[in-house]
Structures are given as structure tokens and as C-alpha cells.
Amino acid sequence: MKFWRHYVVGLVYLVMGFLVVWQPVPTLAQGSAPAPGKPALYEFGAKWCVPCREMKEVMAALKISHGDQVEFRMVYADEERPRFEQNKIVLIPTQVFFDASGKEVDRHIGALPKEEVIKKLKELKFIR
């Protein structure tokens, strides 16, 4: 009986420890979103990922056409790993849409054609 009690107590401590460590630390969360001012679209990917390279081209075109209204940024896993963890990115490519206050309002997993991104930006009222 003592074995089971120690086993359960140990398991409870293990789960509680995991939950404490897993919670985002507020000081680390600073900078996870864009600076307030204008809405933003962050593309999370990797340089070796083929769909991510396609999204890089889409993002470059969008930056030229709508960069005055929306901040477009590529975020690479090998360069900014903490930002991936802060935004809970598990698959790439992932697009995260932030409003002007820096709050995440939507996300999409997988590559999107330019027309679909523009449609989503209009839907979110990021562009006219």
C-alpha cells in the first residue's frame, strides 16, 4: 500500500512540476508579438522548407503592395527558436495574424497563395 501511495504522490509532483515549467514565463513572452502600431502577419518557417520558400515569395510581394498598412515578417526556426516557442508554433509553415495592438487574432497552418492571404487580410480588416 505504501508503494502505491508513494507512486501516486510522485506522479502528482511530476505532473505539477511539468505544468510549472511549461507555463510561459512573462519576461520571455515580451517581444513575442509585433510592436503596437499596425497589424502584422508573421510567417513562421524554415529556410530548408519548400512551402516556406513559396511563402517567402508571397510575403515579399505582399510587403511591396501592402507594406504601408501591414507589417510582414519571416521568422525562421533556426534563427528565432524562442519566438517559435512563445507563439506555440508546432508545424511549418504557419502564418500568424496580429492586430494593431499586437494581439494574435488568427493563424493558418500550411502555405497560402497570395490571393488567399489578401482575402484573409481584408476579412480581418487589415487592408482595404
Q: Is residue 21 part of a domain?
A: no
Look at residue 4 and tell me if it is in a domain.
no
Q: Torsions phi, psi of 80, nearest 5?
A: -135, 55
Tens of pLDDT, residue by residue, the chain (128 residues): 666 666 655 555 555 554 444 444 333 333 456 666 899 999 999 999 999 999 999 999 999 999 999 999 999 988 998 998 999 999 999 999 999 999 999 999 999 999 999 999 999 999 98
Cβ-Cβ contacts under 8 Å for 110 (sequence gap 6 or more)? 51, 91, 93
Residue 22 lies in a domain: no
Instruction: With respect to residue 11, please indicate whether it lies within any of the assigned structural domains.
Output: no
User: Is 5 inside any structural domain?
Assistant: no
The answer as to whether 17 is a domain residue is: no
- CATH number of the domain within which 66 lies: 3.40.30.10
State the total domains in the chain. Answer: 1
**Three-state secondary structure of 10-51:** HHHHHHHHHHHHHCCCHHHHCCCCCCCCCCEEEEEECCCCHH
Domain assignment present for 110: yes
Residue 23, domain member (yes or no): no
**pTM of the prediction?**
0.71
**Structural domain boundaries, residue 71:** 28-123
